[in-house]
C-alpha cells in the first residue's frame, strides 16, 4: 500500500463524519449523530462521494450517508465535508451486504445507487446491487413509499433491474435509457460522478430508474 493511501487511512480515523465497521448507532443515527429528525438518504458505492456531497448541498433538510468499503475513496468526500462544514452528511465504511447491521427497519427514506459494478457474469448475479438479495434488504430498511434511484451506464444492468421491478411488482416512478435527453432532467439528476463524466465524454447513454416498493 502506498504512502498516500496509508496517510488517508490514518486520517480517516480522525474524521468525526466517518464511521467504520460500527453498528452501535443502528436505529439511532438521527438521535446520536445528526441531532435532528430529518429523512436519511443513502448513496451506495459512493466512491469519492461526489454525489453524496452534492445531494447534501441541494437538500440541507435531509441527512446523507455515503457508503463504500474503499476507505481511500471515502476520504475525499469526508474531507470535503469537514472543510466545508457540511453537517447533514457522513460516511460509513462497510460492505453494502451489511446494511441491515447498521440501519434499522424503516430508518431510511431514500437510496441512490450510482454507477455500481454491473457484475455481468451470471455467476455473480447475487452481487448486483439490484438483485433480489439487495432489493429485499432495501425494502426492509426503507420507510413505506421509500424511493430507490439507479443511475448506470450499463445497459445490461438497467434491463436486469427493470425485469426485477416487474417480477416483484414494484412501482416505477421515472424510467429512461437516455437520461440527458429527458425534459424532466433536473439539477439533481445532472450531478455527475467521475465515472459518469468519463462515460458521457465517450458518448455513452446514461440509464436511470426511480422506483418504490
**Active site amino acids:** 117
Would you give the DSSP letter of residue 211?
Answer: E
Q: Is the C-alpha dihedral spanning 38, 191, 111, 81 positive or negative?
A: negative
With cell 466512491, the residue in question is 47
Cα–Cα distance between 204 and 197 in angstroms, integer? 10
Cα–Cα distance between 155 and 157 in angstroms, integer? 6
Cα–Cα distance between 37 and 88 in angstroms, integer? 11
* Cβ atoms of residues 118 and 150 within 8 Å: no
User: What is the number of other CB atoms lying within 10 angstroms of the CB of residue 77?
Assistant: 26
Amino acid at each position: 500500500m502506498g504512502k498516500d493511501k496509508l496517510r488517508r487511512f490514518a486520517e480517516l480515523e480522525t474524521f468525526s463524519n466517518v464511521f467504520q465497521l460500527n453498528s452501535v448507532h443502528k436505529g439511532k443515527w438521527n438521535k446520536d449523530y445528526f441531532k435532528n429528525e430529518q429523512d436519511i438518504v443513502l448513496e451506495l458505492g459512493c466512491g469519492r462521494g461526489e454525489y453524496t456531497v452534492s445531494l447534501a448541498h441541494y437538500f440541507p433538510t435531509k441527512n446523507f450517508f455515503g457508503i463504500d468499503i474503499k476507505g481511500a475513496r471515502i476520504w475525499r468526500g469526508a474531507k470535503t465535508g469537514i472543510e466545508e462544514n457540511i453537517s447533514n452528511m457522513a460516511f460509513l465504511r462497510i460492505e453494502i451486504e451489511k446494511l441491515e447491521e447498521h440501519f434499522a427497519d424503516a430508518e431510511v427514506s431514500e437510496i441512490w445507487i450510482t454507477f455500481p459494478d454491473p457484475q455481468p457474469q451470471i455467476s455473480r448475479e447475487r452481487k448486483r446491487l439490484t438483485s433480489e438479495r439487495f432489493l429485499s434488504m432495501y425494502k426492509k430498511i426503507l420507510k413505506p413509499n421509500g424511493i430507490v434511484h439507479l443511475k448506470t451506464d450499463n445497459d445490461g444492468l438497467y434491463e436486469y433491474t427493470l425485469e426485477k421491478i416487474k417480477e416483484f411488482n414494484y412501482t416505477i416512478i421515472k424510467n429512461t435509457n437516455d437520461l440527458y435527453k429527458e425534459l424532466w432532467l433536473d439539477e439533481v439528476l445532472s450531478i455527475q460522478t467521475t465515472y459518469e463524466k468519463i462515460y458521457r465524454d465517450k458518448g455513452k447513454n446514461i440509464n436511470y430508474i426511480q422506483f418504490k416498493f
